[in-house]
Every structure is written in structure tokens, then in C-alpha cells.
Amino acid sequence: MSQVASDPDTHELALPLVVRLERATPPLRTDALEAAARAVLLILTGGRPEWADAIARWDAHRIRKVVRRARGAHWARAQELDGLTVEHGSAQVRVYPPVPVDDWPPDLARLQVGGTNLDPDEPGPVRPGTPLVLLSPHAEMSTGKAMAQAGHAAQLGWRALDPASRVRWQDERFPLAVREATAGQWARALADGAVVVHDGGFTEVAPGTATALFVA
């Protein structure tokens, strides 16, 4: 995407997320997916006042998200940067206020995007009434990519809720579940009007690919 350097408001913004991936104690894949989705919602709704302008500009446009990984000293340095850490089960994810896609803070820019794959796990049943993100069975995605898509689905789902449901969900600190959909689940959710994420096609999948759904 072309950008006009003379006007900072024209720079496309991305929301940085960093997942902690220690070699000896990696998180469960489902925990990482759910942590990322909750992190997006928490910074969107509860970020500090000094983040408000950047978050509003980002939320009004393409809401890009980029997930990087860190361990050891790199994770410690990532914790020192202005942001919010979400602990969810075995996972830790830190989210930061949006930054221009071509001007990341050096301590984040040096973290790797690749190598985020985590082995599938077997999460339990979803409690009735829990907001649900379904990941497409038709799109192959790394864990990092799936984390970004889960966050995107949660954000679009938040936008689609009525005000009373938003207040209730926020007051509860955004309980949610992320699951890999079967073909049947995916088709039924689409038929029932689930909120759909269509990917921009910057990484891993073709533009317009339906990657995730939100089911309230």
C-alpha cells in the first residue's frame, strides 16, 4: 500500500502482539489463540488515554495485526515497552498500541514473525453462552496467523454486538473460546449469520479468504 510520508495520519497502522514462546514451556495452542483475542479486546476498550488516538485511527481502518514471538531476554525487553500483558491459561501475550507498519519500535521489529507454530491440543467443550471464534477448516494458517485472525474476529464481533451485550461482555473481562471448526460447523455458522473475517492477503492466505467467524 502506498503511503504519504509527510502526513502521519496516512500511515497504515498495525497492532503489535508478542506471544511468549519459551522452548521448554511453550503454551497450549488454544490458550495462545484465546489470549490474543482477549488482548485485542482489552486494548481496544481499556487502553490508557495516551493510546486513544492511535487506537481510534487504527480501529477506523484496516485493523491489521502482526504477531511476533519472544523468549528469554527478548521477552523481558518486550515487557519493558509500553503495552498490556494478558495471561490466559498457559499463554502470555503482550499487546501494544498501534504503530505504523513501516516504523516499528526497534525492540519489537527485531522479534521474529515466523516460527510461531504450536501443536494442536484438545480443548474442552465450550460453555453455553460463551462468545466463540471459529477458525476456518479451509485455510491453513500458522499459529501466529491464527492468533491474528482470532483477534480480528473478536474485534468484528465486538463491533456487531448491541450496547447492552458489549457492556456485559466487557464487565466480565471478555470470556471467549477459540476453536478449530469442522466443515460442518463452519457451514452452519455461516448459514446462521456469523460475523466473517475476510483476510487482506498480506501473509499466508489469498486476499479475501474467509479465515475466522465470530458467533455470539
pLDDT at 178: 98
179: number of Cβ within 10 Å: 18
* Distance in angstroms (rounded) separating the CA atoms of residues 198 and 176: 20
CATH code for the structural domain at 8-109: 3.40.1490
pLDDT at 192: 97
Distances from the Cα of 92 to the Cαs of 29, 85, 136, 150, 182, in angstroms? 11, 7, 24, 15, 27
* Distance in angstroms (rounded) separating the CA atoms of residues 165 and 212: 21
Sheet strands (E) in 33-189: 64-70, 84-88, 91-95, 99-100, 132-135, 177-180
Taking the chain (216 residues) in consecutive chunks of 10 residues, what is each chunk's mean pLDDT?
Answer: 34 94 97 98 91 94 94 96 97 97 93 94 95 97 97 97 97 97 98 96 94 97
pLDDT at 83: 96
64: number of Cβ within 10 Å: 17
The answer, as to whether pTM is greater than 0.85, is: yes
Instruction: Please report where in the chains the cell 463452519 appears, as a residue.
Output: 186
Spatial CA neighbour of 19 closest among 82, 87, 73: 87
Superfamily of domain 132-215 in CATH is: Bit1 (3.40.1490.10)
Q: Where in the chain is the domain with CATH 3.40.1490.10?
A: 132-215
DSSP 149: H
